[in-house]
Structure 1
Amino acid sequence: MRNRADVIGFSEIPLLPDPDEARSWLEDELAKPAYAEAQPTWFDQMAKAISDFISGILNPQIGPGGGMVVAAIIGVLIVAIIVAAIIVWGVPRTRASSRLTADDLLFGEEESRTATELRRAAQQAAAAGDYDEAVILRFRALARGLSERGAVRLGPGATVHAFAAQASAAFPTEVAELSAAADVFDAVRYLRQPGTPEAFDGISRTDERLERSRPVALPELTGAIS
C-alpha cells in the first residue's frame, strides 16, 4: 500500500523546506495567472486614491477655519472637472433657434440668404416652372434688398403687410405695387393659391424699380417693423 505522500504526488518534496526553498515555492505560486488577475487594476488604485483624498478633506475632525479650506478645495475640483469636460466634449451647444439673429429671419421664418442669392434662387425656380416658390423667393428678395440698403428695418416678427407699409413710406410712388406684391405673397405662401408667371413678373419689376430708386424716408423716422 502506498503512503499518503505518494498518493498526493509530493513523495519527493521535503515536509520541512529550508527558507530558500520556501521562498522559491511562494514566488512560484504567486506567479500563477489566478493571483495576477486578483490584483487591483490601475483604475481601482486611482479610484481608491480619489476616495481617500475626498474622505480626508471631508474629515469631521478638521480644526477651526478648516471649513473654508475644504470649500475652496471642492470649488477648485469642480472648476477643474468643468474645464476638463469642455476640453473633451467642447462647449455645450445651444438650440439652433436661440442662435438666430434678425438677419437670419424674414417674416418670422428662418432665411439668411442675401437679396442677390434670393433673386438667383427665385429665377431658378421660375425657370423650372415652380412659380409658387418663385413668387415667394422674389418677394423675400425685394424685402431683404430694402433691408440691406437701410431703407426699411425688418424686425424678427415683421409681417409682409407691415413691411409693405414701411416700404411705402420710403417709396411713396410704389404704394400700390408694394401692397399688391404683399397680397400675392400672402395668397401663395399662406392661402396656398398657385403662383403664376404674371405674379412673378410683377414682383420682379417692382423689385427692379426699387433697386434703382432712392428712399424719401429712412427707418429712423418711420420706425422699425416688429
Structure 2
Amino acid sequence: MILLPAADELFIPDGDQARQWAEDELSKQAYQAAKPTWFDEWALGVVKWISELFSGKGTGDLAPVFLTIIVLVIVLALVVALLVWGRPRASRSTHRRAELLGERDDRTAAQLRAEADRAARDRDWDTAVVLRYRALARGLLERDLIDPAPGDTAQGIARQAAAPFPGFADRLHATATAFDAVRYLRTPADEEMYSLLAATDDELRTAPPLEGAQPQTVQAVPA
C-alpha cells in the first residue's frame, strides 16, 4: 500500500520557482548537446527561403517575376559581353602549351631559337634545323598569325603563314620541306640549310603581316 502525503504537506512551486527549475534542467549537458547549432539554424533558414522563393509562398506573385528579371539580366549581360569583346580567344600561354608539329612543347620561340643556335655552334645541324623551324612556327603562333589544328604538319603551317606573308610563300615552303626531310626522312642537314631557315625566321620576326590577314586553321595533310 502506497502512502500519499497529505495535501498540506505537498510543495507546489510558484511560477518563478518552476521556471528556474526548468531552466536548470535544460541547462544540463544532455539537453545542450541536442540543441541545434547556429549553422543548423542558418542552413534551415536558407533552405526555407529558397523553397518559398520558388514556390511563391510568402511573396505572392513577386517570386516568379523576380526570378524572370534575374534570368533576363544575366542573358542580357552575356549578350553585351559578346558584342563588346567578341568570342574569347585562347591566350598566348595556352598557345604555347598546345601541341605543335606533333609534340607538346612549352618552350617559347625565343627559347627554341637559343637552343637552335647552340646546336648550330656545336655543328649539330639536324637538331639546329628542327629546333629553328619549331621556333619559326612558335613565333608566328605567339603573334596570333597562324592557328594550326592539332597534328598540323610543317607544310600546313607554311601555307597558313603564307597568308599574312605572301612574299615569303616560297621560302616558307622550302623551310618546311627542310624540316620534314630532316625530321622524318632522316636526311642529314647542313649549314646552308640552317642558314636559310634562320634567315627566314629572322626576317619574319620583323616583317609586317598583310593588313587584314586572319589566322585560318588548315587541316593537317601529309607533308
TM-score normalised by length of structure 2: 0.53
Deviation at 1:112, TM superposition (A): 1.3
Query: For residue 7 of structure 1, what is the aligned residue in structure 2?
Result: none
Deviation at 1:102, TM superposition (A): 5.1
Question: Which aligned pairs between 1:120-159 and structure 2 lie closer than 5 A?
Answer: 120-159=114-153
- Give yes or no for the alignment of 1:224 onto 2:217: yes
Query: For residue 193 of structure 1, what is the aligned residue in structure 2?
Result: 187
Cα deviation, 1:72-97, whole Å, max 9, x if unaligned, reads: xxxxxxxxxxxxxxxxxxxxxxxxxx
Query: For residue 160 of structure 1, what is the aligned residue in structure 2?
Result: 154
Contact kept in structure 2, 1:122 and 1:135, CA below 8 Å: yes
Counterpart secondary structure, 2:209 = coil
Q: 2:186 is aligned with what amino acid? A: R
Contact kept in structure 2, 1:102 and 1:155, CA below 8 Å: no
Counterpart secondary structure, 2:160 = helix
After TM superposition, what 4+ stretches of structure 1 lie above 3 angstroms from structure 2?
217-220
RMSD: 1.6
1:176 to 170, 178, 197: 170
Work out the CA distance in 2 between the residues paired with 1:208 and 1:123. 12
Query: For residue 113 of structure 1, what is the aligned residue in structure 2?
Result: 107
Unaligned runs of 5+ in 2: 1-93
Deviation at 1:147, TM superposition (A): 0.6
Q: 1:191 is aligned with what amino acid? A: L
Question: Which aligned pairs between 1:9-28 and structure 2 lie closer than 5 A?
Answer: none
Deviation at 1:225, TM superposition (A): 3.7
Percentage of matched positions with identical amino acids: 42
Query: For residue 103 of structure 1, what is the aligned residue in structure 2?
Result: 96
Work out the CA distance in 2 between the residues paired with 1:157 and 1:205. 26
When the two structures are aligned, how many residues end up with a matched partner? 125
Cα deviation, 1:10-68, whole Å, max 9, x if unaligned, reads: xxxxxxxxxxxxxxxxxxxxxxxxxxxxxxxxxxxxxxxxxxxxxxxxxxxxxxxxxxx
Q: 1:224 is aligned with what amino acid? A: T
Deviation at 1:214, TM superposition (A): 1.2
Query: For residue 43 of structure 2, what is the aligned residue in structure 1?
Result: none
Counterpart secondary structure, 2:197 = helix
Cα deviation, 1:74-125, whole Å, max 9, x if unaligned, reads: xxxxxxxxxxxxxxxxxxxxxxxxxxx6533211212110000000000000
TM-score normalised by length of structure 1: 0.52
Cα deviation, 1:103-156, whole Å, max 9, x if unaligned, reads: 332112121100000000000001111100000000000000011011111232
Work out the CA distance in 2 between the residues paired with 1:191 and 1:218. 37
Deviation at 1:183, TM superposition (A): 0.3
Contact kept in structure 2, 1:151 and 1:218, CA below 8 Å: no
Q: 2:217 is aligned with what amino acid? A: A
Query: For residue 203 of structure 2, what is the aligned residue in structure 1?
Result: 209
Structure 1 residues 142 and 126, CA gap change in structure 2 (3 angstroms): same
Query: For residue 67 of structure 1, what is the aligned residue in structure 2?
Result: none
Unaligned runs of 5+ in 1: 1-100
Deviation at 1:219, TM superposition (A): 6.3
Q: 1:208 is aligned with what amino acid? A: D
Higher-Rg member (1/2): 1
